[in-house]
Structure 1
Amino acid sequence: MSEPLPPSSCACNRRDFLTTTTAGLGAAGLAAAAVPLIGSMNPAADTQAVGTVDVDLSKIAVGGALTVTWRGRPVFIRHRTEEEIARARADDAVSLRDQQTDSARVQRPEWLVVIGICTHLGCIPLGQKAGEPRGEFGGWFCPCHGSQYDTSGRARKGPAPRNLDVPPYHFLDDGTIRLG
Structure 2
Amino acid sequence: MGSKFRRRSAICAWDMSEGATDAICIRVEGGRISLRGIGVYLHAEQVRRTWQCEIHVLRDGDQFSLLSKTSCELSSGGTVDTGVILLPDSVTLSVGVTYAIKVWTPENGKTYCGEGGVNYIRLSNGARVTFSSCPLSENGTSLQRGQIPFFLYSVVQSEKCDTSQAKDE
TM-score, structure 2 normalization: 0.27
* TM-score relative to the length of structure 1: 0.25
Q: Which has the higher strand share?
A: 2
Q: Which has the higher helix share?
A: 1
